[in-house]
Amino acid sequence: MLELAGLLMGLVMGGWLELSFAVEVIVLGLVLSASISLLYINYQDLMMSVFGLGLGGDMMSVGLIWLSMWITLLMLMASLKSGNVNSWFMSLVVSLVILLLGVFLSMDLVWFYVMFEGVLVPTFLLIVGYGYQPERLQAGLYLIFYTVFASLPLLLMVLWWGSQGCSSSVMHLINCVEGGVGFVLYLAGIGAFLVKMPLFLVHLWLPKAHVEAPISGSMVLAGVLLKMGGFGLIRVCPLFVSWISMTSWFWVSLSLWGGVYLSLVCLRQGDVKSLIAYSSVVHMGLVVGGIMSLSVIGFMGSYILMVGHGLCSSGLFCLANITYDRVGSRSILVTSGFLTLIPSGSLVWFLLLSANMAAPPTINLLGEISLLGSILGWSSMSLVGLGLVSFFSASYSLYLFTSSQHGETMGGVGGFEGFYLSEYLLLLLHWIPLNFVFIKSDLFVL
């Protein structure tokens, strides 16, 4: 069913883009090749099935690959109106998809590192080449320096393991590392993924990149790139079980209280995109806490929340961009009273923001309940931090909705058209899987 949906989505995109036949064939070929290759993965087997060349996958790889393909096609739909869709833009998108497939299908750490770092190049070019403000150069530099600086120790760790005669395969490294590893290697192994997620204190690159990026850059950043950090962290956790069990108190505390602080920062934001970006950091903090609890339900909840957040946050950035096209400003004060101007658009805002606060029946609810159970099972002392994060998540979501949709409209705002049918379709293609995947939530347990 997913293969058919992906192929139909590609056909729709090919017709809407009205680009050259070669570009259309490339897009359809990517969708079809991913669909066929994923058929070879036995989803009932928790072990990785090997494709060869250091590639393999399991159900977590399948879900994140389909999230990547889905967000990429929606990204193309959202970029149509901006006029950025040309052969150069399409080449960036195609290269980004290929690198993401390489990341989520990697069993070899060297292969994973190359793909992990390669994703930065098209993302940087999207932000710098298609951003709106002059500050996009600074945002691109923040992105590069934060992530590359944290990734170099990971490369040194992989090279050191190779010099010790250990295979770079993840399954063989577990057998090679006996009795724990050094603390420096432990920090090198998880540091790159914590920055990519990003964890509180190393998160400053994300709001800058989101605010300055075009709609395509914001969607792929929120929808897919943050998930590479969680995916890598889950993959390397078996290598550092002893060190994580000793230091989990620090990571869980930092993620929870960092989430509380950034939730208060969200309540002070006047920029719609900045508020959505900071809320992404809050949700990724919960993902870090669930992974560091080293429980099966924590891993499951982290995976579910990553998929749900990818759809929800991408849809919110689409809404912010549509509002910016109408009003010409991202300020919450300028967009106040939007309910009287476009009531149906206000309904979509409510649906996606309710998903952002983990309202039923979204899969965000299932993910947050799983994470609450895993972190509370790890320590009952975390109840205060979890309660505050959950409360403030609802608070800043309701703050964004009431401030932007209710109240009096500013003078001079108005006289624009409502949402187009293609924009409703784009937003519904975010919201429908976010809610209806809940029916088939047993796939996440597998």
Instruction: Give the C-alpha separation, 218 to 139, whole Å.
Output: 12
With contact defined as beta carbons under 8 Å apart, do 211 and 277 qualify?
A: yes
- pTM of the predicted structure, to 2 decimals: 0.85
Inside any domain, residue 10: no
Is 31 inside a domain boundary?
no
Q: How far is CA 367 from CA 33, 110, 238, 321, 330, in A?
A: 30, 31, 22, 27, 30
Q: What is the pLDDT of residue 262?
A: 92
Give the total number of structural domains in the chain: 1
Q: Give tens-digit pLDDT for 80-120.
A: 766 667 778 877 888 888 888 888 888 778 888 888 888 88
Q: With bands split at pLDDT 50, 70 and 90, how would you rate the model's confidence at 127? A: confident
pLDDT at position 62 over 60: yes
- pLDDT of 60 > 50? The answer is yes
Average pLDDT of the residues in 193-218 = 85
pLDDT at 161 over 70: yes
- Which pLDDT band holds residue 27 (cuts at 50, 70, 90)? low
Q: What is the pLDDT of residue 22?
A: 46
Quick check: is 28 in a domain? no
pLDDT of 208-226, one tens digit each? Answer: 888 888 888 888 888 888 8
Instruction: Supply the pLDDT for residue 44.
Output: 45
Sign of CA dihedral 121, 125, 126, 127: positive
Which is nearest to 200 in space by CA: 277, 259, 266?
259
Tokens (6 digits) for 237: 């956790």
Q: How far is CA 394 from CA 101, 274, 408, in A?
A: 34, 17, 23
Integer CA distances (angstroms), 414 to 185, 327, 336, 339, in order:
57, 8, 11, 12
In a domain, 49, yes or no: no
pLDDT given for residue 82 in this prediction? 65
pLDDT at 241 (0 to 100): 81
Q: What pLDDT is attached to residue 331?
A: 81
Residue 276 is part of which domain span?
A: 56-444
- Give the three-class secondary structure for 58: coil
Distance CA 96, CA 74 (A): 14
d(CA 273, CA 271): 6
pLDDT on residue 47: 45
The pLDDT score that the predictor gives to residue 78 is 82
How many Cβ atoms sit within 10 Å of the Cβ of residue 53? 12
Query: H helices of 18-119, where?
Result: 21-38, 59-79, 87-104, 109-118
What percentage of the chain exceeds 70 in pLDDT?
Answer: 79
**Interval 316-370: pLDDT, tens:** 998 888 888 888 778 888 887 788 878 888 888 999 999 888 888 888 888 898 8
Q: Give the residue, 439 or 11, on which the prediction is more confident.
A: 439
Return the closest-CA partner of residue 8 out of 75, 91, 73, 71. 73
- Going by pLDDT thresholds of 50, 70 and 90, the confidence category of residue 434 is confident
Judge whether 4 lies within some domain. no
Q: d(Cα 171, Cα 176) in Å, to the nearest integer?
A: 9
Q: Is residue 147 part of a domain?
A: yes
Residue 260, pLDDT score: 92
Dist. CA 49–CA 34, nearest whole Å: 15
Whether residue 328 lies inside any domain: the answer is yes
5 domain residue, yes or no: no
Alpha-carbon gap, residue 209 to 189, rounded angstroms:
25
Q: What percent of the chain has pLDDT over 90?
A: 6
Are 430 and 316 in contact by the 8 Å Cβ rule? The answer is no
- Mean pLDDT (the chain) is 79
